[in-house]
A and B are shown apart, each in its own frame.
Chain A
């Protein structure tokens, strides 16, 4: 049966049927495999033996591997799906599973490892890091292979008892949609021997036939015992080949362990593994047809390494071999596949099996999903043809540092003429990708065509762009690289047409469909000169439609997918028009049938309205436009930003040479400000007349686009026309003016500010002191206003009231314009941290949303103030963030101590009075910190004086080794300012994967501050359940509603007695949030802030984020508390309940969120039962909190910390 699936589904479909237990943890790009398994399991789908596999989400991949190990030892057939760091976390158990000769398969969507930076994209770094564990490694190169070889792996592991890692290239294969021939249950059954399954079961731990396994061994036997397994490994290649042959018998699809294709007497050969093999094979066929004697050996079984098969596969004529590795091993002689091939050929030659010993060179390609194209394959063959080919090389990049890279022809095109290529440019939110996935299914099903789809997303969570690469053709499509020379290009957002890539991907004479909000006769003139030139040069046929209008009219505002999909079919001719329209409608009915008639009819209406609105645009034969695209970044940006960052922003990152990039992953702070993404058509606009200057809007703004300053009225003399200003509404500064400036180009239009505004216009109901309005007409003026606003002097921090929301608006945010979702509930907390403590803040950031919007290239929102001070930020891993932050604290403490010691030692030299002041200065209030900074500056001056021999201070020679003391002091001088160490992350980290570390760090007594931005779900990886997910909520892995209440992280921390703990929700009580964060920071010990963060994974319009936060608190779902050991030490009750007794039912709060509501639709009774239980949990917790809030101080353990 033909199906159109991606590689993840292809593999999971087999894995699920061959397993009884799936232990998983979400990690990109493997998560969809686990999610599918969970979906199938929750729908009662059965495996080969008629039972429903158990799918269990663990707290980490380490946990998943442990659970898997247990399941296997219990006799179950088990599997897991993972990638990258996840696979690394499984390594200890992998040694165990393999050491015990346990049949198992791990399916891996192979991905880069975090080194100088995390990357979610595909290469073989992860699988190469487990090649030594004893697992067999089987590599699939395509979606079809991911399906077929998944089965081969499951079959072979049972027969060999050697566990398998079955892997395929992350994203390239895991996310590529392909039309494949699916294996039915009988096919699967044919390869899986029940007898072997029972043998596996018979090896399980059982008290009926007890034994012990997992012993400890001494020097006497460990070594020998390790060698016992050799025969099992020796059998693997033969068994795998047999399984492949059996598969071929049933399906006609034949695979070899090492598959050679090309000229039978080839001289130059590539050896490659994974999807690159497909590209190499097709290119070889093309070159061979041109008469070149070239070939390619694709490795499918990598461990145990099929040395004999490799030697046998290569023609004896081979004289030059290039081995391609999709990984990097700094410092090694060469990458692993290269070394293996070299050893295998050398041995074969030595043993006389091959007469010629070819020259073998090793190259790296495709790291982190870097493109690998036919042009690159051709370049490698050219290199092999050189007299002295480079021994080591890279391809696909420009390595101008070590000179390893090969040059290649990017326009080298081998694709068959009958393959239709199309590229679509859209936004994530407009539905372009979804529509294209649908198109592929339609063509795969209806037209019996072979179809391929691959989708490129950017790493922004708001306003993100997508590019869809589609191919259709009569023959299977083997082109795992992006589309070029597309005959159809869809540009689904008008502004995207200005991006170079759109026309670059178009072929000569291509058709371009442009979604444009202007009448067709105006389209041409609205294009920039460069675009017009491109269209004329390529003789492009231009069509235009106002899809936004059609969608709006059909009741699908913002979702132009159906309209543009209809247009694609209408123009492209891949299917007969009538038939295509019917197919689209059928698929609408299929997709939305279960969502109700309304949704179906709106989409059908959109289809029906589309064709009439589609127009071919008369392309003038000459350039009419004077429009030039705007400079991407302002000319006064730093050099690195103008060259490197700007190139990435423009989509030219691939062209950056090695020399352009930092060697150690260090990048400048504060680069989002150069991005000016203009992603929202509506932006916040200030009404200076109505405004009461309360600061609420800027407090809640997730993107720091609302700034306030007060200033001397004389400043206004230079103000541009239209710059808005009001009298400062505050005591103590009678004549000052106030301006609230909106950064319109960075505003995402989320509307939280409008919701937060307490003012309403007396004459105009609904109008606030801040409102959303069209961006375009404001743009020019506001640019000038912003520039002027930025020149106003920053407000003196010592004069700002840090204790009120109103006061904080005058504190400069040092976290701005992140790519987080519009209306994000996390970022306001980070912004507040940066406002309060930014100039002395160190952030350890767990992997997750916050590390992505905080640290994804090309830009970072963490920025600096006018003095150049600002948050120092780093992300270590997902699992170790608390420990990482503790390490930063320990280093700071040691260096503070060192600084103080050196300072004391140099007291007489540097001036006793100054030194004593520095050493005894309090550093809690801003004025104290300011004073300390002044002292340090003075100290710095004196140190400079010492070095320069200028100013006469004390006698340095009086201090023994004085020079070294001074150098030491200088190196840690910055630690004389009290450092604020914050450990931040989401609930996935705090409640699950990092829970052990967090618990330990909270119990350390050290002065670290932990901010848990709790969205109650894994947000970054797409809504998987965490232990913070509420009882009754629907999430991935709790599709039937979570049946376990959330753990009370606050109470756990309170149990340690010396941890400051607060639960806050800025949307419900910003003042309490502010207070808690300040108290936590001032508290000299561990602090934990659990911060409610509204999230798109909750399922409502993000504009309602504040309302939902309010309801969460008002219903008792999220009681606001503070536990302050300092209060207890002063004799008060340290447990403070900051929110009033619940005044609405949990049901009233939950009704507003899809995560709760969707269960009601699917399983009303269960929803009602879980709601009842959740209400009980809320009631009981409230009673407990109330009781705690009325205990006396003596009822709490007194401060256990040792005080000096």
Chain B
């Protein structure tokens, strides 16, 4: 079955993309992902703030004990004076890009304007096929308006787009008053792809120890619904490619996203749970499903259950989507 897919101008061998995870920390891990059968790999995110803090912390660790004891005016060779900045990351892209045969996409979380631009350029330079902007600032300040938060997304995108030539995707959160409008604005600002959605790592609370736990929970299929819905709504309304992420566990989940209208589907949790080679199983499962359903190509599948863009969604019962949504929500209040 030909599963070749176009994603923000890139040609992928199939629509399954490994999204950022510890699996891409090392070249070996990236190779295993590629060997596992994914169509592309988005590397783990480079966090500018973390790099800056690490650099400051490293300086403190090197300098504090230095110049105070006559036998040991320092404790580290000068190599420890070198802050890697994005170097290790960029180096990984460079090696990965030349050693694996699927596109390697860099993922960036900046804090400063220079950070976004410089790091994005460095990624492009190193051979990243594309850049995913992981705009992962939690708008925790109640005084910041929604418009400001939105504008920040647009600004970052515009800045990076102006600086690089490779395609740029934006990974966003679902927590906008109008995620649809946000998507349209980003599309207009030049996003080559929209990745729906970021899962903020919601900390947990341990009632026994009375502490906040910075837990990372893997996603489950139930987490897919929101993204599925918005992909279905955005399909055909934006120029940008649509990538679905969250909640992929079995091949059917892939099928669901594609039916909703996703160009590609990303997964981390399934690959972390079952190992990188699980990608092949998902892809095979997708083929089997397509054969079983009589689909000959992805184009036949993609967007089949999207909300058509051409007219009032309400009139298009064929997709049944909106009806289902309404029914589901109405039902929510009437469990019996």
Chain A: residues with CB nearer than 8 A to chain B? 28-29, 31-32, 35, 38-39, 42, 120, 171, 175, 427-429, 431-434, 437, 455, 457, 459-461, 464, 466, 555, 558-559, 592, 594-599, 602, 760, 762, 765-766, 821, 852, 1019-1023, 1034-1040, 1096-1097, 1099-1101, 1147, 1154-1155, 1157-1162, 1164-1165, 1167-1168, 1172
Contact = CB atoms under 8 A, between A and B. Distances in A.
A418 B81 CA distance: 37
A39 B78 contact: yes
B73 A1158 contact: no
A1168 B27 contact: yes
B95 A1039 contact: no
Contacts of B53: 598
Question: Which 9 residue pairs across A and B have the least CB separation, nearest first?
Answer: A428-B68, A1161-B84, A1022-B72, A598-B52, A596-B55, A433-B67, A1164-B88, A1039-B77, A1158-B80
B69 A1097 contact: no
B253 interface: no
B150 interface: no
B84 A434 contact: no
A1021 B72 contact: yes
Interface string B206-249: 00011100000000000000000000000000000000000000
Contacts of A31: 71
A175 B67 CA distance: 11
A1040 B77 CA distance: 9
8 contacts: A28-B70, A120-B71, A428-B66, A466-B68, A766-B211, A1023-B74, A1099-B76, A1160-B84
A464 B27 contact: no
Contacts of A1038: 77
Contact of B61 (A455, A459, A1154): A1154
A595 B75 contact: no
B276 to A, nearest CB: 16
Contact of A595 (B70, B81, B87, B92): B81
A1164 B89 CA distance: 8
B67 A1020 contact: no
A1100 B61 contact: yes
A1036 B77 contact: yes
Contacts of A1167: 88
A434 B91 CA distance: 33
Q: Of residues A42, A598, A1023, A1036, which shows the largest number of chain B Cβ atoms within 10 Å of its Cβ?
A: A598
A1165 B91 CA distance: 8
B56 interface: yes
Interface residues of B, number: 47
Contacts of A765: 209-211
A559 B83 CA distance: 19
A596 B52 contact: yes
Interface of B: 25-28, 51-53, 55-56, 58-85, 87-88, 91-92, 95, 112, 114, 209-211
A1162 B75 contact: no
B210 A1165 contact: no
A486 B152 CA distance: 55
Contact of A1158 (B76, B91, B112): B76
Contacts of A1023: 72, 74-77
B58 A821 contact: no
Nearest to A1036: B77
B80 A1020 contact: no
A594 B83 contact: yes
Contact of B83 (A28, A32, A428, A1161): A1161
Q: Of residues A766, A1035, A1167, A1168, which shows the largest number of chain B Cβ atoms within 10 Å of its Cβ?
A: A1168
B168 to A, nearest CB: 23
A467 to B, nearest CB: 12
Q: Of residues A595, A852, A1167, which shows the largest number of chain B Cβ atoms within 10 Å of its Cβ?
A: A595
Contacts of B92: 1164
A595 B58 contact: yes
A431 B66 CA distance: 8
A1158 B74 CA distance: 15
A1164 B91 contact: yes
B87 A1164 contact: yes
Given A595-B81, A1039-B79, A1158-B80, A28 B71 contact: yes
Contact of A760 (B51, B61, B95, B209): B209
Contacts of A594: 81-83
A558 B65 CA distance: 12
A598 B75 contact: no
A1164 B70 CA distance: 33
Contacts of A1035: 76-77
B85 A1154 contact: no
Contact of B60 (A559, A821, A1160): A559
B77 A35 contact: yes
Contacts of A42: 77, 79
Contact of B79 (A175, A597, A1040): A1040
